[in-house]
Amino acid sequence: MPHTTPPAPGEGSAPAALTLERLLASVPTDVRAVFSTRTLRPLLSEHDRTGTLLHTLEVFLHHDASWSRTAAALHLHVNTIRYRIHRIEHLTGRDLTRLSHRLDLHAALLCRAGAAQGEGSKATQGDGAGAADDAAVRDPVSR
């Protein structure tokens, strides 16, 4: 029997690409909700009632932390983007020039999006699981 070598990455029947989204999908919904809420709370509170900072953060991270591309995407002056990003950094205590801090916020946004999708399916199921998740977000330590 001839000896065969496994296919190189990207060749043959390689498994689907592993991504942060797939990794986070394996984390329990209540844990994702707690992480997202705790990380993004300053952007979800009275500091940003309109969601402007949260939306700016999403677009900024989507455009790989580029001031000019974010400004173009939002049809704003780059100085407005700089002001908003500095405000986000101040409120969250994170420095968006640091990769680890950007990753924290990106993961929190992904968890938030995943939790929102999960809430929609729970609402249609009517199984009462949403109340348990809400309690976990309010007080995850007592679990």
Alpha helix ranges (H) inside 1-143: 20-25, 29-44, 52-62, 67-74, 78-92, 99-125, 129-138
What digits encode the pLDDT tens for the residues 39-85? 999 998 777 788 899 999 999 999 999 999 999 999 999 999 999 99
Report residue 34: phi and psi, to 5°.
Answer: -65, -45
pTM of the complete model: 0.68
10 Å CB burial of residue 72 (0-12, 13-18, 19+) is middle
Residue 11 has pLDDT above 80, yes or no: no
Which residues, including other chains, have CB under 8 Å from residue 67's CB and lie 6 or more apart?
Answer: 78, 81, 82, 85
The confidence score (pLDDT) of residue 27 equals 84
55 vs 121, higher pLDDT: 55
* For residues 86-94, average pLDDT: 95
Q: What is the pLDDT of residues 98-115, one digit of tens each?
A: 999 999 999 999 998 876
| Positive or negative: CA dihedral 135, 140, 112, 37 | positive
Query: Average pLDDT, whole number, for the chain?
Result: 77
Contact between 109 and 39 (Cβ < 8 Å): no
Please say if the pLDDT value at position 20 is more than 50: yes
